[in-house]
Amino acid sequence: MPGSFLHAASRTPRIDRSASPVRVLIAAAALLSAGCAPEPAEQSEASPAPRPVQVAEVRASEAVERIRLPGALRSRDRADLAFLHDGTLQDRLVGLGQRVAQGQALATLYNPALQPGVAAAEADVREARTRLEQLETDTRRQRTLVERNLISEDDLEQTRTRRDAARAALEQAQARLEQARAQLDDAALRAPFAGVVTRFAAEPGDFVRAGQVVMSVADPDELEVEVFVRPASAARLAESDPAGVVVQDQGIRLDATVREIGRAEPGRPVPLVVALDPADVSSVSPGAPVHVLLELAGEARPTVPLGAVIDPGTGYARLFRVDGDRAEEVSVQLGRLASGWVEIHGPLAPGDRVVVAGQAHLLDGEPVRVLP
């Protein structure tokens, strides 16, 4: 037994030497193949996936531009009245809101220099007339004496000269009297047109300067609105063009007409006067806040949703137009805005598709996938 044990322990295992090189080569090839195999597809560089976006079609704006401007109704005929001379407001002959006729006396002024001026002028006229009458009589009497050869022709000619001078003096005195009476008449404040007294600026007993406003008068039967427009808009309007006036307090719209168009000054808007139809004046009153509606003739331009424009307030506005399956960045200039759509000045045409959602990180030329 022990001998057999030793014999078994001393035996070495059999090795198939003819097969070992092949197996080694196969194993080496397997290792090399495993080490040099390409990386999985997810580890290799792949083309970027199209970015999902929403688009809208460019459309043409209306050929007529509608603008809305705030204003207030006022009377067409209105005046702030004042005296031409200094003095004390003696009496006020009308009440606030009272209707007055053209030429009606509204107030009187007390000036102690006006009444004596008329009296002095009247005295000068009487004196000049008396002197003229006396010289007329002398001229007739001397003409008779010349015919009788009792006085010379030179004496008659001197009398005639004094008579002509007296006639000129009378005319001057009458002119001074008319001036004095006109000044006295100016002490009565009169209505320049028929209307309503709208305001008092002085009370009886107040001292007022020449030209100081005493009261205001306006005609409520003809109303108008003054608004201001850009010079480019004013150039597209003409007198007698139709307009509309919306009364804010009443929520009604009235017909109106463009009456006057002012001239633009550098850096300032153009004043525009719009007159109401006289048939609608009875339903409103001066001072009411209104909006003036104007329609300007123009040309249709491409418009896009405002949400499609990137950086609209910086002066470098741009948007993305979808061309095929890629986004193309386009620089544009913005025009007027209406109902969420803005006019575009740039290389766009109605029917083009622009990105309205998903353009936050979009790049020029990047592939896109249009969402339904």
Residues counted in the chain: 372
pLDDT per residue as tens digits for the range 49-92: 888 999 999 998 876 778 899 999 999 999 999 998 899 998 99
Tell me, what's the pLDDT at 215? 95
Question: 96 Cβ partners below 8 Å, 6+ apart?
Answer: 197, 198, 199, 200
3-state secondary structure of 345: strand
What DSSP string describes 153-199?
HHHHHHHHHHHHHHHHHHHHHHHHHHHHHHHHHTTEEE-SSSEEEEE
Contact 355, 320 (CB under 8 A): yes
Tell me, what's the pLDDT at 191? 93
The whole-model pTM stands at 0.53
Q: Quickly tell me which residue has 């030209």 as its tokens.
A: 211
Measured CA to CA, the distance from residue 25 to residue 32 in angstroms comes to 10
Tell me, what's the pLDDT at 319? 93
Contact 77, 218 (CB under 8 A): yes
Contact 346, 333 (CB under 8 A): yes
pLDDT per residue as tens digits for the range 201-222: 999 999 999 999 999 999 988 9
Tell me, what's the pLDDT at 40? 45
Contact 193, 77 (CB under 8 A): yes
Tell me, what's the pLDDT at 184? 67
Tell me, what's the pLDDT at 279? 83
Question: pLDDT below 50 — which residues of the chain?
Answer: 1-44
